[in-house]
Amino acid sequence: MTFDYDLFVIGGGSGGVRAARVAAATGAKVGLAEEYRMGGTCVIRGCVPKKLMVFASGYSEMFDDARAYGWDVQEGPFDWSKFSTKLNTELDRLEGIYRKLLDGSGVEIIDARAKIKDPHTVTLSTGKDVTAKHILVATGGRPVVPEMEGAEFGITSNDIFLLEEMPKSILIVGGGYIASEFAGILNGLGVQVTQFYRGAQILRGFDDEARGLVAEGMRAKGVDLHLGTNIVEMRAATKEDLAGVQEDVPMEGGKPATLPHKSAGHGIWVKATNGTEHVFDQVMFATGRAPNTEDMGLKDAGVDLGRHGEIVVDEYSQTSVPSIYAIGDVTNRVQLTPVAIREGMAFVETVFKGNPTAVDHDLIPSAVFTQPELGTVGLTEEKASEQEPIEVYCTSFKPMNHAFAGREDRVLMKLVVSKETRKVLGCHIVADHAGEMIQLVGIAVKMGATKEDFDRTVAVHPTMAEELVTMKEPVRSA
């Protein structure tokens, strides 16, 4: 049978673009369809713009630090309009690079939505059908808004970058990394931030000691974090609501500020499970993400989906239909951009180079860009202790730069070690630039380094990270 393409990729995110380019380099004829903007979640509405906002939000503390170090600097207001204009310019530039890379690789770009018609046919929103020997689904995921009355007044992380102006106050609902990162970002930009999370502690799944220190640090910096708390009701606020809960409303000249919002200009009234009532300028839901598999024809084509709508794949990213593969967040394996890229490259090795390659999803370093920042690789203390006897090496202290500036911020350096093999099973860091540190530690942990390997490494002084190689005695065993 003759096909229009050797490979047709649905989705122009990091994983899909990489797979398309690498496949085209083998001589394959490749087409790629994207319905929105090239770059996907990471480049357009995720990692990249979020990290730039992290950078922007950090300057609010730098003014105080600079004065503590002897600089005569004056603090000014944050100009969201100026920042967002430059941000959008940068995202346009990055999208252009993605398109240029695809074009230079010989990949045909189709700006349209694509659905699967059968194992070898894709229907485009233009009305055209195209055929392919192999189809790769790389459509990513999207934020989920809870089903409740008034939820339409809320926004998600997709919308935060599109705001015309910064809110004066915001409620962030959720306790995962997206919710907690944006709580720190917006707090640093001068927004009055309240965060509700229904669980006992934010960042579920991360090391308990580390996430506890992150929560403590967030509160110290001004985030009004409420654990064991959720929304009972929400609706457009009225003038009467403003009068009734003035203590929760941003004030201007001793009077409640006008809260510009699509709800009619008075903000959003929220009743919490703890019985309190508040009015916020914005409410942002960060309560989870779902794979983009709806209305794609997957089930009709015979592709198995999981209970959360994710595409079920084997270790080689192949679905229940042999000609259809899937990578990235749409498979709900590990939702990280570098993982999607690796899955895309492994797919090409398997399908176009005849070298069956499975992606190793074990011991993946990751960072949470909260304030304070968290870096982690390997097992948490809790998971490791369930698996085998362990020793925990840990220290928490005020780093030199913070102590001199009079700040109370503390850092955490933690190693989880197997008693039997002496391998470092996990490393958890809470500190400025924890993400940079954990990338390097991740190499050692992936290689199977032991605690004694760490001990034999000479410390770099004076640094925070030197504590990772100078902790001699365990603080506890389990």
Binding site per annotation, positions: 51, 174-181, 288, 329
Distances (CA, A) of 343 to 88, 99, 138, 161: 29, 21, 10, 28
Sequence ranges of the binding site for FAD: 51, 329
Task: Pick the closest to residue 158 from 28, 36, 243, 268 (CA basis).
Answer: 36
The tokens for 350 are 């398997």
The tokens for 70 are 């002897």
Catalytic residue among 134, 266, 433, 461: 461
Q: Distance between CA 208 and CA 385 in Å, rounded? A: 13
Q: Distance between CA 234 and CA 269 in Å, rounded? A: 5
Whether residue 226 lies in the annotated active site: no
CB 182 within 8 Å of CB 212:
no
The answer for residues whose C-beta is within 8 angstroms of residue 100's C-beta and 6 or more apart is none
Q: Are strands 251-252 and 231-236 parallel, antiparallel or unpaired?
A: unpaired
Sequence ranges of the binding site for NAD(+): 174-181, 288
Task: Pick the closest to residue 108 from 6, 2, 37, 1 (CA basis).
Answer: 6
Distances (CA, A) of 266 to 170, 176, 247, 249: 13, 29, 15, 10
Backbone angles phi, psi at 30, to 5 degrees: -125, 135
CB 45 within 8 Å of CB 157:
yes
The answer for residues whose C-beta is within 8 angstroms of residue 137's C-beta and 6 or more apart is 10, 11, 116, 296, 298, 311, 319, 324, 325, 326, 327, 330
Catalytic residues: 461
